[in-house]
Structure 1
Amino acid sequence: MQYVLRLFVAGPSEHSTAAIRNLWAMSRGPLKSNAKFDIVDVRLNPETAEAHNVFITPTLLNLAPGSVRRVVGDLSDHDHVLAALGITQRSGKSDAEEKIL
Protein backbone atom coordinates (compact mmCIF):
# COMPACT_ATOMS: atom_id res chain seq x y z
CA MET A 1 0.00 0.00 0.00
CA GLN A 2 1.39 3.40 -0.99
CA TYR A 3 0.91 6.23 1.51
CA VAL A 4 0.97 9.86 0.39
CA LEU A 5 2.19 12.16 3.15
CA ARG A 6 2.49 15.95 3.18
CA LEU A 7 4.34 17.81 5.93
CA PHE A 8 3.53 21.47 6.48
CA VAL A 9 6.24 23.54 8.18
CA ALA A 10 6.92 27.22 8.83
CA GLY A 11 10.47 27.90 7.73
CA PRO A 12 13.49 26.63 9.64
CA SER A 13 11.96 26.77 13.12
CA GLU A 14 13.10 24.31 15.78
CA HIS A 15 9.83 22.34 15.65
CA SER A 16 9.74 22.31 11.84
CA THR A 17 13.32 21.07 11.65
CA ALA A 18 12.58 18.34 14.20
CA ALA A 19 9.47 17.26 12.26
CA ILE A 20 11.46 17.03 9.01
CA ARG A 21 14.18 15.02 10.76
CA ASN A 22 11.62 12.65 12.31
CA LEU A 23 9.73 12.17 9.04
CA TRP A 24 13.03 11.41 7.34
CA ALA A 25 13.84 8.83 10.04
CA MET A 26 10.44 7.16 9.60
CA SER A 27 10.88 7.14 5.81
CA ARG A 28 14.10 5.17 6.24
CA GLY A 29 12.46 2.75 8.69
CA PRO A 30 8.75 1.89 9.02
CA LEU A 31 7.68 3.80 5.90
CA LYS A 32 10.53 2.58 3.70
CA SER A 33 9.38 1.92 0.13
CA ASN A 34 5.66 2.28 0.87
CA ALA A 35 5.31 6.04 1.25
CA LYS A 36 6.07 9.17 -0.68
CA PHE A 37 6.06 12.56 0.92
CA ASP A 38 6.56 16.22 0.23
CA ILE A 39 7.21 19.20 2.45
CA VAL A 40 5.32 22.48 2.15
CA ASP A 41 6.59 25.68 3.75
CA VAL A 42 3.43 27.60 4.63
CA ARG A 43 5.29 30.91 4.43
CA LEU A 44 6.02 30.26 0.76
CA ASN A 45 2.77 28.41 -0.09
CA PRO A 46 0.00 29.70 2.18
CA GLU A 47 -2.67 28.76 -0.36
CA THR A 48 -1.73 25.08 -0.14
CA ALA A 49 -1.94 25.17 3.65
CA GLU A 50 -5.32 26.90 3.47
CA ALA A 51 -6.62 24.39 0.92
CA HIS A 52 -5.80 21.58 3.39
CA ASN A 53 -7.11 23.50 6.44
CA VAL A 54 -3.66 23.62 8.03
CA PHE A 55 -3.37 26.46 10.53
CA ILE A 56 -0.74 25.06 12.91
CA THR A 57 2.74 23.84 12.03
CA PRO A 58 4.27 21.39 11.86
CA THR A 59 1.34 19.30 10.62
CA LEU A 60 1.67 15.96 8.82
CA LEU A 61 -1.20 14.78 6.62
CA ASN A 62 -1.78 11.26 5.33
CA LEU A 63 -3.57 12.09 2.08
CA ALA A 64 -3.97 8.56 0.74
CA PRO A 65 -5.17 5.91 0.91
CA GLY A 66 -8.50 6.53 2.57
CA SER A 67 -9.66 9.67 4.31
CA VAL A 68 -7.21 12.39 5.31
CA ARG A 69 -5.61 11.98 8.73
CA ARG A 70 -3.40 14.53 10.46
CA VAL A 71 -0.83 14.79 13.22
CA VAL A 72 0.35 18.08 14.69
CA GLY A 73 3.75 18.41 16.35
CA ASP A 74 7.39 17.49 15.84
CA LEU A 75 6.60 13.79 15.10
CA SER A 76 9.07 12.62 17.74
CA ASP A 77 6.96 9.66 18.93
CA HIS A 78 7.14 7.58 15.76
CA ASP A 79 4.85 4.78 16.99
CA HIS A 80 2.08 7.20 17.91
CA VAL A 81 2.47 9.16 14.67
CA LEU A 82 2.17 6.02 12.55
CA ALA A 83 -0.85 4.82 14.54
CA ALA A 84 -2.57 8.22 14.37
CA LEU A 85 -2.10 8.27 10.60
CA GLY A 86 -3.62 4.79 10.34
CA ILE A 87 -0.39 3.26 9.05
CA THR A 88 0.19 0.89 11.99
CA GLN A 89 -1.89 -0.37 14.89
CA ARG A 90 -1.20 0.71 18.46
CA SER A 91 -0.23 -2.08 20.80
CA GLY A 92 -3.39 -1.73 22.91
CA LYS A 93 -1.37 -0.82 25.97
CA SER A 94 -2.03 2.40 27.81
CA ASP A 95 0.39 5.31 27.41
CA ALA A 96 1.67 4.66 30.94
CA GLU A 97 2.36 1.00 30.14
CA GLU A 98 4.15 1.92 26.93
CA LYS A 99 6.41 4.41 28.72
CA ILE A 100 7.39 1.76 31.30
CA LEU A 101 8.54 -0.72 28.63
Structure 2
Amino acid sequence: MKYHLQLYIAGQNLRSKKAITNLKEIEETYLKNDALIEIIDVLDEPEIAMKNGINATPTIVKLIPTPMKKSIADLMDIREVLFWLGIAT
Protein backbone atom coordinates (compact mmCIF):
# COMPACT_ATOMS: atom_id res chain seq x y z
CA MET A 1 0.00 0.00 0.00
CA LYS A 2 1.53 3.24 -1.16
CA TYR A 3 -1.22 5.58 0.08
CA HIS A 4 -3.54 5.61 3.08
CA LEU A 5 -6.31 8.17 2.71
CA GLN A 6 -9.36 8.99 4.79
CA LEU A 7 -12.36 10.84 3.40
CA TYR A 8 -14.68 12.36 5.97
CA ILE A 9 -18.22 12.99 4.75
CA ALA A 10 -21.51 14.03 6.39
CA GLY A 11 -24.28 11.71 5.24
CA GLN A 12 -25.10 10.57 1.75
CA ASN A 13 -25.86 13.94 0.20
CA LEU A 14 -24.86 14.90 -3.34
CA ARG A 15 -21.63 16.60 -2.24
CA SER A 16 -20.53 13.52 -0.27
CA LYS A 17 -21.36 11.17 -3.11
CA LYS A 18 -19.42 13.31 -5.59
CA ALA A 19 -16.37 13.40 -3.31
CA ILE A 20 -16.46 9.60 -2.99
CA THR A 21 -16.83 9.15 -6.75
CA ASN A 22 -13.97 11.55 -7.48
CA LEU A 23 -11.67 9.89 -4.94
CA LYS A 24 -12.39 6.43 -6.36
CA GLU A 25 -11.63 7.73 -9.86
CA ILE A 26 -8.33 9.16 -8.64
CA GLU A 27 -7.51 5.86 -6.93
CA GLU A 28 -8.21 3.77 -10.03
CA THR A 29 -6.59 6.10 -12.56
CA TYR A 30 -3.63 7.63 -10.76
CA LEU A 31 -2.96 5.55 -7.66
CA LYS A 32 -3.32 2.30 -9.61
CA ASN A 33 -5.44 0.79 -6.83
CA ASP A 34 -2.41 0.96 -4.52
CA ALA A 35 -4.24 2.80 -1.75
CA LEU A 36 -6.19 2.09 1.38
CA ILE A 37 -9.15 4.46 1.40
CA GLU A 38 -11.41 4.84 4.39
CA ILE A 39 -14.75 6.61 4.05
CA ILE A 40 -15.84 7.94 7.44
CA ASP A 41 -19.32 9.40 7.86
CA VAL A 42 -19.13 11.92 10.70
CA LEU A 43 -22.86 11.55 11.33
CA ASP A 44 -22.37 7.84 12.07
CA GLU A 45 -18.99 8.15 13.80
CA PRO A 46 -18.73 11.64 15.32
CA GLU A 47 -16.21 10.49 17.94
CA ILE A 48 -13.66 9.63 15.22
CA ALA A 49 -14.12 13.04 13.62
CA MET A 50 -13.69 14.80 16.97
CA LYS A 51 -10.62 12.74 17.87
CA ASN A 52 -9.00 13.60 14.52
CA GLY A 53 -9.93 17.29 14.55
CA ILE A 54 -12.34 17.15 11.61
CA ASN A 55 -14.57 20.24 11.67
CA ALA A 56 -15.89 20.37 8.10
CA THR A 57 -16.79 17.96 5.33
CA PRO A 58 -15.79 16.71 2.95
CA THR A 59 -12.26 16.52 4.34
CA ILE A 60 -9.52 14.32 2.91
CA VAL A 61 -6.64 13.18 5.11
CA LYS A 62 -3.42 11.69 3.75
CA LEU A 63 -1.82 9.48 6.39
CA ILE A 64 0.68 7.67 4.13
CA PRO A 65 3.02 8.73 2.73
CA THR A 66 4.04 11.09 5.48
CA PRO A 67 3.78 13.87 6.38
CA MET A 68 0.11 13.68 7.30
CA LYS A 69 -1.98 16.35 5.55
CA LYS A 70 -5.63 17.47 5.71
CA SER A 71 -7.65 19.36 3.15
CA ILE A 72 -11.26 20.46 3.06
CA ALA A 73 -12.21 19.69 -0.52
CA ASP A 74 -14.89 18.10 -2.66
CA LEU A 75 -12.13 16.69 -4.90
CA MET A 76 -13.68 18.24 -8.03
CA ASP A 77 -10.37 19.50 -9.41
CA ILE A 78 -8.41 16.30 -9.99
CA ARG A 79 -5.20 18.14 -10.89
CA GLU A 80 -5.36 20.03 -7.60
CA VAL A 81 -5.86 16.79 -5.66
CA LEU A 82 -2.95 15.12 -7.47
CA PHE A 83 -0.73 18.10 -6.67
CA TRP A 84 -1.86 17.93 -3.05
CA LEU A 85 -1.01 14.21 -2.97
CA GLY A 86 2.40 14.93 -4.48
CA ILE A 87 1.72 13.11 -7.74
CA ALA A 88 3.04 14.68 -10.94
CA THR A 89 0.94 14.07 -14.06
The two structures have a TM-score, normalised by structure 1, of 0.80
Structure-2 residue corresponding to 1:46: 46
Contact 1:71 1:85 in 2 (8 A): no
**Matches of residues 74-85 of structure 1 in structure 2 within 5 Å?**
74-85=74-85
Q: Give the equivalent residue in structure 2 for 1:20.
A: 20
| Alignment partner, residue 10 of structure 2 | 10
List gaps (5 residues or longer) in structure 2.
Answer: none
Aligned residues: 89
Unmatched 5+ stretches in structure 1: 92-101
1:96 corresponds to: none
Deviations 1:17-50 (A, max 9, x none): 1100101111110011321101000001011111
C-alpha displacement of 1:10: 0.3
SS of residue in 1 equivalent to 2:29: coil
What secondary structure is seen at the aligned counterpart in 2 of 1:4? Answer: strand
2:34 alignment partner in structure 1: 34
Residues 3 and 62 in structure 1, CA contact (< 8 A), matched pair in contact too = yes
Residue range with higher mean Cα deviation, 20-29 or 63-72: 63-72
Provide Cα deviations, 1:63-98, integer angstroms capped at 9, x if missing partner: 112121122121011111121133x14x8xxxxxxx
The normalised TM-score by structure 2 is: 0.90
Rg larger in structure: 1
In 2, Cα distance between equivalents of 1:82 and 1:48? 26
Percent identical pairs in the alignment equals: 36
**Runs (4+) off by over 3 Å:** none
Answer whether contact 1:71 1:81 (CA < 8 A) is retained. no
